[in-house]
Amino acid sequence: MKSKLASFLLATVFVFSAAALAQTASADPALPAAPSAAANAPDPTVATTGNKIGTINIEQAIYASNEGQRDFEALAKKLEPKQTELKGMNDEVESLKKQLNDQGAKLNEDSRGALVKQIEDKQKKLERSVQDARDDATGQQNEIAQRILQKMAPIIVKYAGDKGFGLIMDTSQPWPQGPVLWSSVDITKAIVDTYNTQSGVPAPAKPAGAKPAATGTRPATPAATKPATTTPAPK
C-alpha cells in the first residue's frame, strides 16, 4: 500500500528562498507548517545567486536520521501487541477454514452453514481490524516524518544557499514516478549528517553482532497481516 508519507513527499521541491519555502508549505496542506523564514532561511539575495541543481531523497533522509531511526523503532515496538493480536485473529480464521475444508462434506446443512457464517463474520472483523491498524500506524509514521521534516527543511535551505544551489528536487519517488531521471549531485547524506549534529540525538544502539540496516530504509508499516480469502468447501 502506498503510504500517505510517500504521497506528500512526491511533489516536494525545495526552491531556495524564504518566499519559496513558505509558498511550498502553504500550497500543500499535507506538508507541515513552514518554519520561521526569518530565523532559519538564508538571505534570499544569496540563495538566488546559486545556479546548481541538486537532489535529495527526503524520505530516506528522514528515516536515516538518528531521530528518525529512534522514533520509528519506538513506534514499531509500541505497535507489536496489535500485530500479535491480528496474527491471532488470522490464525483463528485459518483454523476454522481448515475445519470447514476437512469436515465440510460430513456436516449437515445447518452445521455447515453456521460454520461458513462464523468464518465470514470473523473474516470481515479481521479485515476491518487490519485496515484500522494499518491506518493508525501510517498516521503515526506520518506524524513523526512531518515533525522531522519541519526541522530539517531550514537546514536544507541553509545548506543549499551556502553551497550555491538554486534548486533542490526530491527523489523519494524514483523515475518515472518521480520527476528526476538522473542526478550527479545528491545532498541526502550531507543533510542527514548536519541534522544529526544539530539535533544532538545519538545514533541508536545496535545489538552486538547485529548487521547494520540499509541507510534510510523505510520501516515496514506495522499491522500488515493479510487475511486470506474465505473459500468454503463445495456442498
Per-residue model confidence as pLDDT tens digits over 80-97: 999 999 999 999 999 999
Q: Which grid coordinates belong to 5?
A: 508519507
Count of alpha carbons within 13 Å of 185, Cβ hemisphere only?
12
Bridge pairing between strands 52-56 and 13-15: unpaired
> Is residue 207, in this structure, part of any structural domain at all?
no
More confident residue, 35 or 83: 83
Express each pLDDT in 149-196 by its tens digit. Answer: 999 999 999 999 999 999 999 999 988 888 888 888 999 999 999 999
CB 58 within 8 A of CB 12: yes
> Is residue 45, in this structure, part of any structural domain at all?
yes
The reported pLDDT for the residue numbered 38 is 37
> Is residue 186, in this structure, part of any structural domain at all?
yes
Q: What is the mean pLDDT of residues 60-78?
A: 96
CB 61 within 8 A of CB 194: no
> Please, what's the b/e burial string for 195-223 (b: 16 or more CB within 10 A of its CB; e: otherwise)?
bbeebebeeeeeeeeeeeeeebebeebbb
> Is residue 94, in this structure, part of any structural domain at all?
no
Confidence of residue 104 (pLDDT cuts 50, 70, 90): confident
Mean pLDDT of the chain: 76
Q: Give the predicted TM-score (pTM) of the model.
A: 0.67
The reported pLDDT for the residue numbered 235 is 42
> Is residue 211, in this structure, part of any structural domain at all?
no
Give me the number of domains the chain comprises: 1
> Is residue 67, in this structure, part of any structural domain at all?
no
The residue segments making up the domain with residue 185 are 4-62+148-199
Residue whose C-alpha is closest to residue 176's, from 6, 10, 28: 10
> Is residue 52, in this structure, part of any structural domain at all?
yes
> Is residue 206, in this structure, part of any structural domain at all?
no
Rounded Cα–Cα distance for residues 223 and 75 (Å) = 12
